Every structure is written in C-alpha cells, then in structure tokens.
A = this chain, B = another copy of it.
C-alpha cells in the first residue's frame, strides 16, 4: 500500500473518497500545491504558480458538478521571496478566482522552507456528481488530449530549468478547465473525477470494484501523464450522442475509450508526482 492510500484508509468515513466532501448543498475540497512536489522553482512563473494552485482546486469542484464560490488560501512563503513575486503569485490566484466568481474569504501566511499553496474551496452543488455512482455497462470517456503535461514536464526535466522553454499554452503551465462542457452535460453524466495523477493511477480509483473493457487502444503517454486536469467520466450508452454533441458545442476533443464490466481493474503504474 502506498502512503496516500494508507492515509485515506486511516481517515475513512462516508465523506471521504471523492474530489470533494458534500455537506448539504455545499461541496468542500482541498488540494496542496507544493514546490518540489508539483513543480520546481523556475518551472512556472509566480503568476502561473498562483493560477495553477487555484485551477487544480477549481477542477475538483467542477467534476463534482459544483459551482465554486469561496476559497481559503494558505500561503507558504520562502524567506527570499520578494514583494514583487508575492504580488505576481497573488495576481495568479485572484485573476482565476475572479474569472470563476470565487471570493477569497480567509487563510494563513507562514514563512516556510518551500513555496506552497494550500487551497480549500467551498462550492455550491444542486446535484453533485459522485465517483461511486459508476455502474456496469457504462461508457468511459475523457476530455482533451492526454500527454501534453508529461511532455512539458520531461522537457523541463531534461533541457532547462526555465518555464519559458515551454509555450504559453503548454498544459504544464496553463490548465484549461472543462467547466462549460461539464455543467452543460451534467444531466447525462453519471460519475466523474479529474485526471490529476495520470489515467494509470486514476482509473483504478475511478473504476474501484469494476473492470474496464477498452474499446479504444490508448497510448502509453495517455496513461502516464498526470496533472492534466482533464475530466474522466461515465455515462449510459443511450446518452452517447448527446455527450458527443455537447463536446462538439464546447469545441473540445472527446475520447470514448472503454466500458465498465464485471471484475476489478488493476493499477498499472506508480503515482506520477515526481
């Protein structure tokens, strides 16, 4: 058992095991975004660090069909960070918050050995979508192109310590969230999660006590690329063309790759975070 699964098993209760915890009409989620775990210094601008820390949290809310409303921010700031860098970090956090109508209502600031952002998001959901609602005989799909985040990471690891080597639209630097497609399709979606550790790690969490029959062969890099924040979701076969239609309307790529069947899907790779 890896340490993350160990921790989850230790805190196990009915609230835990999804992207967010549901309390009445509210969904609460929390994600850490840390130097040397999610990025190395120089791999993202300070603006991008702030934006990405918020985005990975907004992603949790979206895949639960919840509208993010409020956030608490915990900032871990290294001693040598400048006021200008703090300002850029703050702009990254606030710009994406404004875009999604999220109000920062509190938090904490601590001097730290590493740069890090802990975000808690409070979202409103009339009808939350849960991972555990996945049934047999459903179709499985993901949005967008998987693999770009890993490609960006490898370039940074191999060639450079500077984010400028990647284009501005690199998925490693800038996540595109799929909120419009997801909210519009939500009535046809049965269960969902975001792809944060790579399909190889996330599929077993999603499928849990089901197996997957692949109806499309996926590439290795599609399995291994983490921090994609594309949406992995399921729907009944009868809604297939409605889902395809919503993806077309939102102009996003959709890959229907599998079907849930009896059995148990096995994890095929280690966690992605380096």
Chain A residues in the interface with B (C-beta under 8 A): 3-4, 6-8, 10-11, 13, 15-16, 18, 20-21, 23, 28-32, 34-38, 70, 72-77, 81, 83, 86-87, 90, 94, 103-114, 116, 118, 120, 122, 273
Which residues of B sit under 8 angstroms from A4, Cβ to Cβ? 109
- Name the 7 nearest CB pairs between A and B, nearest first: A21-B105, A15-B105, A118-B118, A21-B106, A30-B72, A120-B120, A4-B109
Which residues of B sit under 8 angstroms from A23, Cβ to Cβ? 70, 105, 122
Cα distance A76–B112 in the bound complex, in angstroms? 13
Q: Which of B28, B86, B105 contacts A6 (CB 8 A)?
A: B86
Q: How far is the CB of A192 from chain B (nearest CB, A)?
A: 16
Which residues of B sit under 8 angstroms from A122, Cβ to Cβ? 23, 28
| Interface contact A16-B106, CB-CB below 8 Å | yes
Which residues of B sit under 8 angstroms from A11, Cβ to Cβ? 73, 90, 94, 104, 107
